């Protein structure tokens, strides 16, 4: 499966609702966060894998990025650092963290492996903090989430996710021309 804004919006909405974040703007918030996540993940985040197998050049494929539970600490800490400290802010941060874990589990990974034709690898996600906040802010605004605290919310969400991505990983299977010679290599690619 691939990252899909409609599905992710529903995941976020359910997580926000389960934490008591129910208001007239919850659907717009869910849509904005989903659009931001999909735009950021598919356009900016890069994937790098460490591959082993037989010599050659193959294509790596994987399904599901595993975000560490550290995202809960990162998201809550990022909310505090960005001045989002209301009564419901820990619940919102936790809901968004849970939704992002579930959403990244749906991601597809595609890499091109240099050095390995057939084998397996472990992929790491490489965040781009210089663009993440802007992407989330634009997506939230586009979904109709406006207000004086929206830039802080975009920054909190983006920063929390970027921190968590540093410990994320995903398995990839590499397929290409076989060889009898063992080899190791590196793959580079994207999420979809």
- At 1, is the pLDDT very low, low, confident or very high (cuts 50, 70, 90)? confident
Could you give the CA distance from residue 83 to residue 92 in angstroms, rounded to a whole number? 14
Q: What is the pLDDT of residue 161?
A: 98
Q: Where are the alpha helices (DSSP H) in the chain?
A: 5-18, 26-43, 70-81, 89-104, 129-142, 150-165
Whether residue 138 is predicted with pLDDT greater than 90 in this model: the reply is yes
Tokens of 143: 């979904």
Q: What is the mean pLDDT of residues 66-86?
A: 97
Per-residue CA distances from 31 to 1, 16, 74 (Å) = 19, 12, 22
Mean residue pLDDT across the chain: 97
Strands 108-126 and 182-191: antiparallel
Place of tokens 């990022």: 78
Q: What is the pTM of this model?
A: 0.96
Q: What is the mean pLDDT of residues 1-19?
A: 96
Whether residue 156 is predicted with pLDDT greater than 80 in this model: the reply is yes
Q: What is the mean pLDDT of residues 61-74?
A: 97
């Amino acid at each position: 499966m691939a990252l899909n804004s409609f599905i992710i919006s529903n995941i976020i909405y359910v997580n926000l609702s389960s934490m008591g974040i129910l208001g007239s703007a919850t659907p717009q918030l869910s849509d904005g966060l989903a659009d931001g996540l999909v735009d950021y993940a598919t356009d900016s985040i890069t994937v790098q894998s460490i591959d082993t197998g037989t010599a050659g050049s193959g294509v790596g494929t994987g399904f599901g990025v595993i975000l560490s539970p550290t995202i809960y600490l990162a998201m809550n800490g990022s909310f505090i650092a960005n001045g989002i400290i209301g009564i419901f802010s820990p619940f919102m941060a936790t809901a968004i963290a849970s939704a992002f874990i579930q959403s990244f589990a749906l991601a597809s990974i595609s890499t091109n492996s240099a050095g390995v034709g057939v084998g397996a690898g472990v992929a790491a996600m490489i965040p781009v903090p210089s663009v993440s906040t802007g992407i989330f802010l634009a997506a939230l605004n586009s979904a109709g989430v406006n207000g004086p605290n929206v830039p802080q919310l975009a920054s909190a969400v983006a920063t929390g996710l970027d921190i968590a991505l540093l410990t994320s990983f995903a398995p990839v299977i590499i397929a290409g021309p076989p060889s009898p010679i063992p080899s190791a290599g590196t793959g580079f690619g994207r999420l979809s």
